Structure 1
Amino acid sequence: MKHVCYSLIAASLLPASFALASDTTYPVNLTNCGVEISVASPPEQTVTVGQSATEILYSLGLADSVVGTSVWFNPVLPQFTDVNEQIERIANDDPSFEAVVNKRPDLVAVQYEWHVGPTGSVASRDQFHELGIATYIMPADCDTKDNSTGGDGTRTAAFSTESIYKGITELAEIYDVQDAGEALVTDLNAREEHAINLASSLDLPEDLSAVFWFSSTDLGVSPFVAGQLGAPGYMMDKLGIRNVIESDEEWPTVGWESIAKADPDVIVIAAMDRRRFPADDIEAKREFLHNDPVTSEMTAVRNNRIVEMDAHAMSATMRSIYGLESLAEALSTMSFN
C-alpha cells in the first residue's frame, strides 16, 4: 500500500494543475504526442531511447523496471551511477529496432520524436505497437513543437517546464508512483524558483545578451546555436538575458561573423561525452573561441565570460532546470563593468 503525506507548504509549490497523489486506475489512457496510448498495468520491462526518459524513471525510483538504455550525451546524474552500471546500455547513440525489441519491453520511453515517430530513426510508433509494445514520448519534445519540419524541429511556442512536469506526472501515473512524481515536481519547481530569484538579486546589465553553442559539424563552420524558443531560450528569458539568435528553429546554424557582429556578453558552450563532431569536445570549443581571429575579438571571449553547461541541459529535459541553476550561479561570479 502506498502512503502519502504532504505538508501544505509542499503542496503549495506544485502547479495548480497537479492534484495530490492517488492510486492509478488501469488501463491508463493518454494522448501522447498526438497518439492515443493505453497501458493496462504498470510496465515491468522498459527500454529507454534518450537520456531524459532514463533519468526521469530513475528519479521516480523505477530503475528496477529499466532493462536497457540508449542515446547518451553526458554521464548519468551522480546519484544514479551505481544503479545505471547494472543496466545494459544498448547503444550510446541510436539503437537498432531489433536491439530494443530483443529486450522484450512492454514500454519504450523516448526523449526525441525523431528517434521513435512517423519517420523515426529507430522505428515508427506503429512498428512497436504492432508488436504489443507501448511507446511514450516525453511531451517536452512535441508540446509547442513541430517535428515534421525535419532536423531538430521547430518550436511553435516557447518551451515551458510545464511540459517537463507533465511528462513526470504522466509517467508516474503509468507506473503507479504518483507520490514520487509529485515529490520530484515539487523539488524541481523549488530549484527553478531559487535560480530565478538568484538572478533577480544580481546587478546585471539591462541588455545582457548571450548565445548558446551546442556543437558544429567542424570547427570554423557555422555552429549549431540555440534558437529563441527552446530550453536555452527558456533559461535566458527566466534570467533576463537577450538571445542574440532570433530564429524559432531549435538549433539553427548561424555564421560566426554574424554572431561576432551581435557580440553577446556571455557564451554558453555544451559539454558532452558524444564525439560525433569535432566541436563536441568542449576543449576544442574553448581553443577555437580563443584562437580564431573572428571569435577571439568577441566581448565574451576577451572577458572570459564563457560558461560550460551539460549538453543534456540544453535540450528540453529535467536537466534544463539544473542548467538554469548553473547559469544563474555563473552569472553571480561575473563582472560586467
Structure 2
Amino acid sequence: MPPILLRPALLALLAMAPVVQAHATDTGGHYPLTLDNCGTQVTIDAPPQRAVSIGQNTTEILLSLGLADRMAASAVWISDVPEALKAANDRVPRLSSTIPGFESVLGQKPDLVAAQFEIDVGPQGRIARREQFTSLGVPTYISPTDCVGRVYGGSSNADGARTQAFDMALVYREIEELADIFDVSERGNALVETLREREAHAVSKAAGIPKDLSMVWWFSSAQLSGDAWVAGTLGAPGYIMKTLGARNIIDSRDEWPAVSWERIAALDPDVIVLGEMTRRNFPADDINQKIAFLENDPVTREMSAVKHHRFIVLDAQVMNPTLRTVTGLETVAEGLSAMGLTESSAPKETP
C-alpha cells in the first residue's frame, strides 16, 4: 500500500478566502490610532502606505486583506505563497527569504514594520529592537501569536516555549488589529468569519476519531538520524490535535522540542504528520528524505504508523501559529478520514 500523502495545496486553493481588492477609504476620525501590542503602546497616525512585513504569516494576512499596494517589501519565508495569493504577492518585492538586515528594512522607507516573530523585532532583535525603529519614527507591530503566552528563554532551542496554549483567537486578533491599522476593518471581519466557518466544517469532518488516537508532528532535524524537532503540546499543532480530539505523544511546553527517535519509537504514535517546505537548511527539510529515513531506519521502520504508511504531509507554514493553521486543521481532518479513522469514513452497516 503506498503512503497516504495528503498535501494542502489544493485545499488551500479552494478554501482560501478571496483577496479583497484595495480601494480608497474615508479615514476621517480613525487616526491617530493607539493600541497595546505585546506590551508596547503603538500609535499609528495615518493608514500605512509602505509597510514592510517580516514573517510569512504577517505577509499572507496583509495580502488576504487586499493590501499588496500598501506593502513596500516582505521577508522571512518558509514555503511558497498559496496560489490564491500569488498574483498579489508578485507585486510585493521580497527583501530576503531569511532574516533581512536592519539597513535593508530601513532602505524601504517603511511607515510600518509588522513582524511575525518577536525574536526578529523585539528584545532579542535579530533585525533590530522595537525602540530602534521607534526612534526613527517607524511604528512596529508584532503578532500576538508570538508574544501572548510565549517566552524565548528557558527552552531547549531558539524557538522558545509557551506558558499557555495557542488558540486561533490570537490569529483572529492579529487580523482584526492589522485591518484596524490600515482602516479596512470590514475586510478583517469578513476574513475572520470565513476562517471560523472553515474551522467548524473541519471539526465536523473529523468527528468520531478513536478516543486515544496518538500523533507526532515532525517539522525538521539538523541531521536525519539525530534528534527530531517535533511539536510540543501548546503550539499550533497542539491546537489542531486538541480541536480534533487527538493526543500528542510529546508532552512539552517547548514550541519545537528536540526529541530522539528512540523515544518517539517507544511511544509509537498512530499517525505521523510531516512538515513539507521549500527551504533547504537541513536534509530533513526535504519531505522525500523524511519519508525515506522513516521507512529505512532500523528504529523508525518498526513504528506502527510507518508500517501502515499513516503519514499526513503538511506545508510547514501551517505548523506555525498562522491563518493557515486552519488549512492544517482541514488537511489533518481529511487525512484521518482517508485513513478510515473518522466516523464519516467508517463502513456503513447494511440494514
TM-score, length of structure 1 as denominator length: 0.91
- Classify the secondary structure of the residue corresponding to 2:338: coil
Partner of 1:221: 226
Match of 1:168 among 175, 192, 198: 175
Partner of 2:70: 65
Distance 1:279 1:23, change over 3 A: farther
> Which residue identity does 2:294 align to in structure 1?
L
Answer whether contact 1:23 1:176 (CA < 8 A) is retained. Answer: no
Matches within 5 A, 1:271-286: 271-286=276-291
Partner of 1:15: none
Distance 1:24 1:242, change over 3 A: farther
Match of 2:240 among 223, 235, 242: 235
Match of 1:266 among 266, 271, 286: 271
Q: C-alpha separation between the residues in 1 aligned to 2:29 and 2:224?
A: 50
Answer whether contact 1:68 1:87 (CA < 8 A) is retained. Answer: yes
Answer whether contact 2:69 2:91 (CA < 8 A) is retained. Answer: no
The worse-fitting range, judged by mean Cα deviation, of 170-179 and 143-152 is 143-152
1:158-215 superposed Cα distances (whole Å, 9 cap, x missing partner): 1000000000000011000000000000000000111111111x4x221100000000
Q: CA deviation at 1:147?
A: 2.6
Q: C-alpha separation between the residues in 1 aligned to 2:29 and 2:80?
A: 32
Aligned length: 314
Partner of 1:96: 101
Partner of 2:40: 35
The worse-fitting range, judged by mean Cα deviation, of 179-188 and 27-36 is 27-36
Partner of 2:124: 119
Answer whether contact 1:260 1:294 (CA < 8 A) is retained. Answer: yes
Q: Is 1:140 the counterpart of 2:140 in the alignment?
A: no
Answer whether contact 1:24 1:173 (CA < 8 A) is retained. Answer: no
Answer whether contact 2:116 2:143 (CA < 8 A) is retained. Answer: yes
- Classify the secondary structure of the residue corresponding to 2:95: strand
Q: CA deviation at 1:24?
A: 6.6
User: Which consecutive residues of structure 1, in runs of 5 or more, have no partner in the other structure?
Assistant: 1-21
Partner of 2:191: 184
Q: C-alpha separation between the residues in 2 aligned to 1:128 and 1:227?
A: 33
> Which residue identity does 1:152 align to in structure 2?
D
Match of 1:155 among 156, 162, 166: 162
Q: C-alpha separation between the residues in 1 aligned to 2:119 and 2:150?
A: 12
Q: C-alpha separation between the residues in 1 aligned to 2:121 and 2:29?
A: 26
Moved over 6 A (4+): none
Q: Is 1:247 the counterpart of 2:252 in the alignment?
A: yes
Q: C-alpha separation between the residues in 1 aligned to 2:48 and 2:29?
A: 13
TM-score, length of structure 2 as denominator length: 0.87
Q: CA deviation at 1:23?
A: 7.7
Q: C-alpha separation between the residues in 1 aligned to 2:186 and 2:146?
A: 24
Partner of 1:77: 82
Aligned CA RMSD, in angstroms, stands at 1.4
> Which residue identity does 1:223 align to in structure 2?
A
Ranked by relative contact order (alpha carbons within 8 Å, sequence separation 6 or more), the top structure is: 2
Q: CA deviation at 1:149?
A: 3.8
User: Which consecutive residues of structure 2, in runs of 5 or more, have no partner in the other structure?
Assistant: 1-26, 347-351
